[in-house]
Amino acid sequence: MVKEKFQKKSYPEWVPDLVTIIGSEENLPEQLDYQRLLKKRSGKFGIPYHENTETLSFAEGTVNYFFSKEFSGDVDTVVIALGTKKLVNKSTSSSHTAMNMESFLENLKALLPEPNYENTIKLIQTNILEETEDPLPELMEDSTPIENAGVLKNSIIACAPTVNNRRKYILFHPEERDAANKVWKILSDISEISYHTWEIDHLYSNRHLMFEQIDASEKNTQYRINEILAEMRKPVDEMQPSDLEEVLREITIQFSRLSTMASSMRRDLVKTRSLRSRLREILDEWGEKPYREYRTNSSALLNRMDRAMAPFTDFIERVEALMTQLNTVLDSVRTYLSIKQQKINITQQEASKNQLVRLVNLQEILHKLEILIVAVYITEIFKTVIESLTHEKTHLYTALFIPIALVASLLISRTLHKTENSH
Amino acid sequence: MINGFTMTLKIPGDWYVNPKVLGEFYNTYKNHPIEQIRKVSFEQGLQYGLLLKEQAKVSGEGTEAISKVLETLLRDEPTAKIIQIDEGRVLLRNSGFCPLMTACLSMNLPWTWLCSSLGWPFFHGIASAVNLKVNLTMSKRREKGDPCCDHIFEIGEGKLLIN
């Protein structure tokens, strides 16, 4: 996906002496002065010019010019290359040409918006691999120290430390067949590397404050988690449902917040990994070998990318650790609620049991009353029968019949309940 | 209309957890001068504060009233707590994972820009609904590397002071 952003361009057949690669977040086509300048130049040399032209190559006097807009997306990368023509008569002042080139470049750069990054590459045609002394320190202007250097097949690429997103390179290349193609390939790679490096740096700097905040935020969240866990240790009866609701709401908010942060940071990490992987592809193609005691450009760059990626991983892991703890808090709340529910159930069960006992007792009383009522009824029937037979000793016979009536009533009751139960 | 600057967005009270609102706010005002944006945010906070004051039936112009309005606004926010109410001074502290930071991270929005242009003036507006002479001093700000954000509301000249 990252690779497709940079398209293959047709580069000139001459080897440049000075190249500037500028990346700017501002939309370059809107820089009318820059466009007008190119239009004017192309008109002067009879080169067809279109506003959408992505490359433009022409010569003026002894100088070759090449302009290319490498990419239009978050950042427009403009490559401006200048090279002196190889003249049969070399009497033309080379210092004058170089001065003109640099002043033209400076004038052109002044028309461009403030760059997000700028790389200047000075190209020198020589074979320093054969030299016994290290020529690099002398060749870098203004005593700029060399940070990295490495051998790419027959060429050597050295660079100075980045200052304010500006970096200087020197590319030494031998005089060979197909030199222009090889040089332009390296320059195109540097352009792509610069863009991807800027992208990773940009992602990192956008998140820098958040990385700085993680310690304090983590500490505060940890305190709160500990507070909630301490609350959970209270006896079940001491915590009200409203308190638990409050705790649950807070955990839900914190959990969703941490989850959003972890996934957003993971999104950035995936993007960073993809950019690093593309850089790795380019650098693997380079197959850069060490030059003298210098650290290779590839090793330094990959190391820098790893350092930029580390805080993303760190942030995600720490946030995920907090999420795990919040899950523990949620489990505690669930356990707390379950114990509370169990207690409520036990109380309810006891209450039901007592009620049942009362009902059984009541039923027994009713049964006894039932026997008594039936016995009274039988006795009354017996009394009526006895009264009709004899008026004498009615009370005595009735009194004597009472136990028989009670037994009969008991038998009737048992028979009836037995039938009820069997149904 | 504030100083020739038209308010086109209505900012809800939960803007700090609402990435959609934050995104709209950023896209609408990103190219305007910060002082103008702050005036808009202050005005929106003031209007919302008056509403909260009415809802929470807050009366008076003192620190208790300011504290109550702020508490009503932040009742569902676990990271923001009023930790001190003194004579003429209320300290609101936002610690833990900032809701605005989370929302901005999820939508790739500039966190510190939104704090400075929307967050602080909005809270100043909320407190000003109680008393127009309230100053808001941002004594601690995560934006400058502090571990938390301390919002100090004091009766003064009605200014937003960023140390």
Domain boundaries, chain B: 15-162
DSSP 3-state of A158: strand
Q: Is the pLDDT of residue A67 over 90?
A: no
Closest-CA distance of chain B to residue A364, Å: 59
Please state, in angstroms and rounded to a whole number, the distance separating the CA atoms of residues A265 and A267. Answer: 5
Q: What is the pLDDT of residue A258?
A: 95
What is the average pLDDT across B118-124? 95
What is the reported pTM?
Answer: 0.77
pLDDT, greater one: A220 or A102:
A220
Best CA proximity match to B29, nearest among B47, B43, B46, B13 = B43
Phi/psi of residue B124, each to 5°?
-60, -40
CATH for B15-162 is 3.30.1380.20
A and B: number of Cβ contacts within 8 A:
60
Contact: A217, B96; criterion CB under 8 Å = yes
Phi/psi of residue B122, each to 5°?
-65, -45
**A206 in contact with B at a CB cutoff of 8 Å?**
yes
Residue indicated by tokens 């002082």: B35
Joined together, the tokens standing for residue B86 give: 């003194």
| Residues 6 or more apart whose Cβ sits within 8 Å of residue B53 | B65, B69, B129, B130
Closest-CA distance of chain A to residue B108, Å: 9
pLDDT tens, residue by residue, A23-55: 988 665 444 455 566 666 656 555 555 554 567
Residues of A in contact with B148 (CB under 8 A): 216, 220
| Residues 6 or more apart whose Cβ sits within 8 Å of residue A382 | A397, A398, A401, A405
Buried b (16+ CB within 10 A) or exposed e, A319-331: bbebbebbeebbe
B-interface mutation test, from A242, A249, A260, A315, most B Cβ less than 10 A away: A260
Nearest CB among B78, B111, B142 relative to A254 is that of B78
**What ipTM was assigned to the predicted interfaces of this complex?**
0.85
Q: How confident is the model at residue A321 (pLDDT cuts 50, 70, 90)?
A: very high
pLDDT tens, residue by residue, A178-233: 889 999 999 999 999 999 999 999 999 999 999 999 999 999 999 999 998 888 88
Q: How confident is the model at residue A69 (pLDDT cuts 50, 70, 90)?
A: confident
> What is the chain B residue with the closest CA to A250?
B78
